[in-house]
Structure 1
Amino acid sequence: MIPYGRQSISEEDIAAVEAVLRSEWITQGPAIGAFERGLAAYCGLQGGGGVAVANATAALHIAMLALGVAPGDVVWTSPNTFIASANCALYCGAEVDFVDTDPDTYNLCARKLAEKLEQASAAGRLPKVVIPVHFAGQSCDMRAIAALAQQYGFRVVEDASHAVGAEYDGGKVGDCRFSDIAIFSFHPVKILTTAEGGMLMARDPALYRRLQLLRSHGMTREAGELEKHDEGGWYYEQIDLGYNYRITDLQAALGLSQLGRLDLFLERRRALAARYDTLLAELPVIRPRQAAYGVSAFHLYPIQVDPARRRAVFDSLRSQGIGVNVHYIPVYTQPYYRKLGFRAGLCPNAEQYYAGAISLPMFYGMTEAEQDEVVAAVRKALA
């Protein structure tokens, strides 16, 4: 079976993890800070810093908490995403709503956002936070979204789980030029892995510090944050209600080692995407389109087929040993969200995309022979 995604683990990665296992620190040690600083520098983040956590879902949760999301607030996001992008608002007791996608990029559409904001402003129900999701590795139009944030007064959290290494408007995704926080995921099928893990990027030093506290029980030993002083070297205080969302030194060491190969990962994914574009050009599929404002990291390569035939094509590909998948079922169509009152028809573009979507295999170690096998299987499935 050729999987839709697969991690790439080198001997250097194994050696980095082994070195931590042989050290004095395997949980909270120096590799975490090194990984945070390394990725922040790679992204060109000025001020603030990176906060590594157990997974991207934890990152989304504390991002909402750090921005003050609470009961009575509403958070907007894209329906074309994994459920965590919406669930994070519900964890805080807030409501969630969805903005339809752009039919070309499958990302949250800035034009649809502007229309929805105008209506919400008239109704006195503007969002506290908007979470644009960089689907498949391609950035949303963040400059346009940031302009709307300034006009309407909401905060912006980029769900960049798919987009580590992606580029937007001359910079790297994660530099937070157009957002308050950006979030990455390091799950094994993602571009860079720590086995499980995530990271938040924040430019504002106060917001960065709040995220650090929320990651680790709201607990501090910093002298400037303590109410009592000179209590002894053992002393700490809880100054916020935080969580145990910490990553380990083992995971951070793997991530830091992988970071050294991130540009190689990206180069290979982009070459595979370009080759897919050529090989699929004459087949009756819609290939993913790329906006002129950035460069995708190509976490996924999603095509669309005739919705009436999608199930048959999917089953045929699986039966031929091609581990295709579908990304994503619109979040609000899930049973839990239907119980909250959501109904089909809310975001027609997202629903139309989903009806024909199939994600083809895309990973660093994929060979051209394997890619040829995938395309041959697609041709057979469509015939």
Structure 2
Amino acid sequence: MIPYGRQEITQADIDAVVGVLKSDFLTQGPMVPRFERGVAEHVGAKHALAVNSATSALHIACLALGLGAGDTLWTTPITFVASANCALYCGAKVDFVDIDPKTYNLCPQALARKLELAELDGTLPKIVVAVHLCGQPCDMATIRALSQRYGFKVIEDASHAIGGKYRGEFIGNGRYSDITVFSFHPVKIITTAEGGMVLTNDADLANRMSLLRSHGITREAEQMTHAPDGPWYYQQIDLGFNYRMTELQAALGVSQMERLDSYVASRHAIAQRYDQLLATLPVTTPWQHPDSYSGLHLYVIRLQLEKTNRSHRQIFESLRESGIAVNLHYIPVHAQPFYQELGFKQGDYPQAEQYYREAISLPMYPTLGDTQQDQVVAALHGALAP
């Protein structure tokens, strides 16, 4: 079976993790700060904080930006549920903005129209989460300009996008957003097994998120309500969580970062070959905006179903039966039963729903060889045949 995504673990990765196992620190040692510095320096951000998942990163990012009861967060319906759930964790509401039919990201024109209406009825969002689907960045310059006009904060959910660029600069540098989130799940571009990171250029936000990831506890005297009782002293000054990353995970991340740029370059070579091999098939291959250099976490095709007599499901199942473990990213969040109970319904976001009826994620990972890629394409040819 050829999976849709796969991590690469090298001997250098194994040696890095074993080195931590033989050290004095399994958690809260030197490797986490080293990993944070490495990522921050690579992308050009001032502050980076490693956490145990991108979901945790989204949660503390929302809390640090003051999201709470009475507030609303907007995001795209084509994303993993965490991009929306993070608002509900904070007691806030969620709403969605339909996608651009070419990039599959949150549509900036739809966002502008929705903001105009929201300003009139007093329902402007507190935060917009811009998800860089498949690794391709959103139109961040437009989103930033809208945030300055309407007063909302911006989180880049770049879970798919580490190593990618927007307008020639690495995603995560904070030029167009308040906070950026990365994911290091095994199928992502680099991995720490599970893990995530928040990045910001705002020292106050960084300090707030640092507290929130570790129980709201500080050992810094200047943050305490009174002078420390002694060198053992700490204070809980906020209600935080146990969202820390371990030293083992960070060591793996430090090692994987050495190959980040080559991983993304390999993904681009694979995507270019897919584009050529699929050119004659009734599928739409991913379009890349000229302002973007995608991280290419995923390679999503859209089926031109009007040109074949087979259904979306038949084609998907045929690929699976041929040993190709394709996937579908994502089921629109507003179509999930939990969100339907909140009042969302089919027809609310037609572009997202049309995407869902046509999308299939083909295998994409740096070690995918030409022979395997040829198998994928041959299986797709067979699946599309009458």
- Where 2:182 maps in the other structure, the secondary structure is strand
Structure 1 counterpart of 2:347, from 345, 348, 351:
345
Q: What is the aligned partner in structure 1 of residue 107 from structure 2?
A: 109
Structure 1 counterpart of 2:174, from 150, 164, 176:
176
**1:28-177 residue pairs with structure 2 within 5 A?**
28-45=28-45, 47=46, 49-177=47-175
| Residue type of the alignment partner of 2:219 | R
- Deviation track 1:15-43 (CA, whole Å, cap 9, x = no partner) reads 00000000000111100000000000000
| Residue type of the alignment partner of 1:242 | G
Question: What CA distance in whole angstroms lies between the structure 1 residues aligned with 2:222 and 2:288?
Answer: 48
Q: Residues 154 and 230 from structure 1, CA distance in 2 versus in 1: closer, same or farther, beyond 3 angstroms?
A: closer
Question: What CA distance in whole angstroms lies between the structure 2 residues aligned with 1:326 and 1:53?
Answer: 27
With structure 2 as the length reference, what TM-score do the two structures score?
0.98
Question: What CA distance in whole angstroms lies between the structure 1 residues aligned with 2:191 and 2:34?
Answer: 16
Question: What CA distance in whole angstroms lies between the structure 1 residues aligned with 2:184 and 2:332?
Answer: 23
Question: Are 1:358 and 2:356 counterparts?
Answer: no
| Residue type of the alignment partner of 1:79 | P
Question: What CA distance in whole angstroms lies between the structure 1 residues aligned with 2:304 and 2:345?
Answer: 23
- Deviation track 1:103-148 (CA, whole Å, cap 9, x = no partner) reads 0000001111000000000011000000010000000000000000
Question: What CA distance in whole angstroms lies between the structure 1 residues aligned with 2:340 and 2:222?
Answer: 47
| Runs of 5+ consecutive residues of structure 2 not aligned to the other structure | none
Structure 2 counterpart of 1:320, from 319, 322, 331:
322
| Residue type of the alignment partner of 2:14 | I
Question: What CA distance in whole angstroms lies between the structure 1 residues aligned with 2:90 and 2:63?
Answer: 7
- Deviation track 1:232-275 (CA, whole Å, cap 9, x = no partner) reads 11100011111000010000000010000101111100000000
Question: What CA distance in whole angstroms lies between the structure 2 residues aligned with 1:39 and 1:309?
Answer: 43
Structure 2 counterpart of 1:235, from 227, 230, 233:
233
- Where 1:182 maps in the other structure, the secondary structure is strand
Shift of 1:163: 0.3
Q: Residues 235 and 321 from structure 1, CA distance in 2 versus in 1: closer, same or farther, beyond 3 angstroms?
A: same
Question: What CA distance in whole angstroms lies between the structure 2 residues aligned with 1:90 and 1:322?
Answer: 36
Conserved 8 A contact 2:221-2:228: no
- Where 1:17 maps in the other structure, the secondary structure is helix
Shift of 1:365: 1.0
Question: What CA distance in whole angstroms lies between the structure 1 residues aligned with 2:57 and 2:384?
Answer: 40
- Where 1:148 maps in the other structure, the secondary structure is helix
Q: What is the aligned partner in structure 2 of residue 297 from structure 1?
A: 295
% identical aligned pairs: 58
Question: What CA distance in whole angstroms lies between the structure 1 residues aligned with 2:304 and 2:175?
Answer: 39
Q: What is the aligned partner in structure 1 of residue 15 from structure 2?
A: 15
Question: What CA distance in whole angstroms lies between the structure 2 residues aligned with 1:346 and 1:27?
Answer: 45
After the TM superposition, list the runs of 4 or more consecutive aligned residues in structure 1 that deviate by more than 4 angstroms. Answer: none
Question: What CA distance in whole angstroms lies between the structure 2 residues aligned with 1:274 and 1:183?
Answer: 27
Query: How many positions carry a matched residue from both structures?
Result: 381
| Runs of 5+ consecutive residues of structure 1 not aligned to the other structure | none
Q: What is the aligned partner in structure 2 of residue 264 from structure 1?
A: 262
With structure 1 as the length reference, what TM-score do the two structures score?
0.99
Question: What CA distance in whole angstroms lies between the structure 1 residues aligned with 2:347 and 2:157?
Answer: 24
Structure 1 counterpart of 2:311, from 302, 309, 312:
309
Q: What is the aligned partner in structure 2 of residue 5 from structure 1?
A: 5
Question: What CA distance in whole angstroms lies between the structure 2 residues aligned with 1:150 and 1:311?
Answer: 43
